[in-house]
Amino acid sequence: MTNSTTAIRPDMRLFWACFIALVATSFVFGVRANTIGDLQATFNLSEQEKGAINGAGMWPFALSIIFFSLIIDRIGYKTVAVFAVICHAVALILTLRATGYQSFYWSTLLVSVGNGTVEAFVNPVVATLFPRQKAKWLNILHAGWPAGLALGALFAVLLGSGADKAANLRWAYGACFIPVVIYAALILPRQFPANERVAAGVSYRDMLKEVGAVGFFIITALTVPAVSQMMSQPASLPVVLAIASVVAIAMGLYTRSLGNWLFIFVLITIGPLATTELGTDGWMPDLLKLSGPDFPHFETWIFVYTSVIMTALRFYAGPIVHKFSPIGLLVIGAAIAVVGLLCLSQSAGWVILGAATVYALGKTFLWSTTLGMVSEQFPKGGALTLNGVSAVGVLFLGVLGTPAIGYKQDLDMDKRLSATENVALYAKVKGEEKPTIFGSAPSLDQTKIKTLTPEETKQLERAQAASKLHVFVNIAILPAFMFLCYLGMFLYFKAKGGYKPVALGHADEADPGF
């Protein structure tokens, strides 16, 4: 595509179709996050099994992103969109028919494949629609994620308040069909543009060069344990490293590139980022349910509240990104996220509202601004670099981040209940140790918990409340690491004369507003 002074107005109907598709992906995430306690009681889940379900909602998402990013320019965006619709419809039917941990795990996994398929096409489409304003419009696009979270949480509350927990779950997950049907009706009639990379004549090999040998090593090293987890055959570390090395060597020989070092640096930060935002979102209602005030569904309303903050701020990201630059905004966001998580770890009652506000302000722009920065700095990478970052983040979250949050809870609860004053109680509720990728994890038997006296239940809940809040301290380490990395990147760009997007040849687009 050649340079031109003619302003081309983007297809806003296509943009809003992509937006609603993203709302649909997070809607089911919001429902699951706010019904995980009912799932635990219904299916007798340990904390680690809850983490595994949340993980299954993440890492298949990443595998589908990687797969379709490699072929999407060859098979077309419409084909990928149709596949996403089919995945969501089939997965939700299976979810409604789930009878236990295994069946719910596999239906969650298929939902995740559909979610990743949506992510694989919406990001490059929007980056192509707005080549001069990628950070702004990718932030607006990703306002759809917290909007879906809030709507999903609201439906979980409205449809999940009856006494029959199993029926409540069916109604809540049945509501997930609503956004799926809407996005299918909106997106299927649309025509999709050629990706910016393809239109600019950048070769497939040059796209792969941006990722390079090191990038493919990182992606493969996370993909192998994800696939082995899906097959119930955990891969050992030597096997993972061997397979990742073979892929890296092969891609290095083909591309003759180790990868863009700045892109590799972003890959290193995206796993902690995903756990900071998505991992915490997935666990937050469960972590806060025993520490809030005596207010119905307080933890869910906090979830909705933080999601609404994110939605509103991302819609008006343009002036904020312009003022601070994408990398400056990441530095500020990571610092605020650390403070917010530490405040949550020390909060109880209505004080949680203030701490959650700080946390929401910190996490709002991290994910979407990272995508904007990647699309602006590595346009030759096309869909692969843009979606590859999302894939690595979600792989890290699903394979390590989310299960680690559950594993830490199991260990902390074991420590607290092993204390002298809780030993007798622990003997009554202790379950079998269950295998995890981190080693054997202690568990509580949900059936035994139901037999406790009211006094014993309160004693257990006090220990659980302290344990769940302490998890926020562990999570805060991640944005602290990100802050140091972003600060280094900020200084790098400053030494180069400031942050500047890398542009391929294209026409200017007319700004439709916002």
- Summarised one tens digit per residue, pLDDT across range 105-127 is 888 889 889 999 999 999 999 98
Q: Where does the pLDDT of residue 2 fall: very low under 50, low under 70, confident under 90, or very high at 90 and above?
A: very low
Averaged pLDDT score across all residues of the chain: 85
- pLDDT for res 1: 39
Residues 508 and 349 sit within 8 Å (Cβ to Cβ): no
Using one digit for the tens of pLDDT, what is the confidence trace for 428-470?
888 887 777 777 788 787 788 888 888 888 888 888 888 888 8
Mean pLDDT, rounded, for 202-229: 90
Check: CB of residue 31 under 8 Å from CB of residue 175.
yes
Residue type, 358: V
Q: Alpha-carbon distance 222 to 244, whole Å?
A: 9
Least confidently predicted of 5-14, 130-139, 358-367, 468-477 = 5-14
CB atoms within 10 A of CB 423: 10
> Could you give the domains of the chain?
4-509 (1.20.1250.20)
Q: In this structure, how many other beta carbons lie within 10 angstroms of the beta carbon of residue 430?
A: 16
Higher pLDDT, 188 or 3: 188
Predicted TM-score (pTM) of this structure = 0.82
pLDDT tens profile 160-205: 665 666 677 788 888 888 989 998 998 888 888 877 788 788 889 9
Residue 302: is its pLDDT beyond 80? yes
Buried b (16+ CB within 10 A) or exposed e, 399-417: bbbbbbbbbbbbbbbbebb
The pair of structure tokens assigned to 83 is: 């596949």
Task: Please state, for a pLDDT cut of 90, what percent of the chain lies above it.
Answer: 36
3-state secondary structure of 430: strand
Residue ranges in 133-279 assigned as alpha helix (H): 134-141, 144-159, 165-174, 177-187, 196-199, 204-230, 237-255, 261-274
pLDDT given at position 471: 84
What's the angle, vertex CA 223, arms to CA 221 and CA 226, rounded to 5? 115
6 confidence band (pLDDT: 50, 70, 90): very low
260 CB neighbour count, 10 Å cutoff: 20
Structure tokens at 162: 């009856």
pLDDT, tens only, 61-74: 888 998 998 898 88
Average pLDDT (236-259) is: 94
Report the C-alpha gap between 89 and 96 in whole angstroms: 11
> φ, ψ for residue 112 (rounded to 5)?
-65, -40
Whether residue 92 contacts residue 38, with contact meaning beta carbons closer than 8 Å, is answered with: no
Going by the DSSP 8-state scheme, the letter that residue 162 receives in this structure is S
Reported confidence tier of residue 19, pLDDT bands at 50, 70, 90:
very high
Q: CA–CA separation, 143 vs 254, rounded Å?
A: 38
CB-CB neighbours of 186 under 10 Å:
17
